[in-house]
Each structure stands twice: as C-alpha cells, then as structure tokens.
Amino acid sequence: MRPDITIFGRYTYLVTELLWGTVAAALLRKTGSTKAALRACLVLYPFAYAWDRYTLEVGVFDIPLRTGVEIADVPLEEHLFMFVVPSMVVGTYELLADLFDE
C-alpha cells in the first residue's frame, strides 16, 4: 500500500520536490559534486524552462496539487524540478563512479 501524500493538499508537489531535493543535496555533499551539479543545472535550465512552458501552454500535463505560485508562467515546483533532477543525476553518477572506481 502506498502512502497517501495528497494530505499536503496544494503543497503536495512542493513537499515532494523538497524531499527529493534533500536527497539530491545529500548525494552532492557526500560526493563533493555540488559545483558540477550547479553547472549542469545552469546549462540545462533554459531548455527545461522552454520545454515546461511549452508543454504547460499546450496542455500536455496538468499539475493539480501545487501551490499555484508561478514564476515566468511556470509553476514554482517546476523550477525546483529543473534543479532537483540534474542534481540527482550528477550526485548518483558521482556516487556510483566513486563506488566502482575503487
């Protein structure tokens, strides 16, 4: 049985982004790859922003459990997502590289 995270109501997406953002931050700290992740995020951000803005505009997806706060026509949670995902990828890659290079 999966836990019902909708108890957070309109903050559900924000809570999940903060949870996974914390995991990503821990990975980056453990591997010392914060700078690399920030660099990846900054390079990918314009593409992710354009994609999110387009898909939201044409109605590809809807985010019902969000705060409703938008920055530049994109939900706050999506801006966080654009940093959490590349950070998680870089952190995981670096952790696995450290584990298998030894």
What would the mean pLDDT of 1-23 be, rounded to a whole number?
92
User: How confident is the model over 22-53, as pLDDT tens digits?
Assistant: 999 999 999 999 999 999 999 999 999 999 99
pLDDT in the model for residue 3: 81
pLDDT recorded at residue 25: 98
For residue 21, name the pLDDT band (cuts at 50, 70, 90): very high
Instruction: Provide the residue ranges of all domains of the chain, joining segments of one domain with +.
Output: 5-101
Q: Give bridge partners of residue 70 from the DSSP assignment.
A: 75
Q: What would the two tokens of residue 65 be?
A: 């459990």
pTM, rounded to two decimals? 0.88
Higher pLDDT: 6 or 93? It is 93
Residues making up the chain, counted from first to last: 102
Amino acid at 66: R
CA contacts within 13 A on the Cβ side of 21:
16
Cα–Cα distances in Å, from 47 out to 25, 51, 79, 89, 97?
Answer: 22, 6, 12, 17, 27
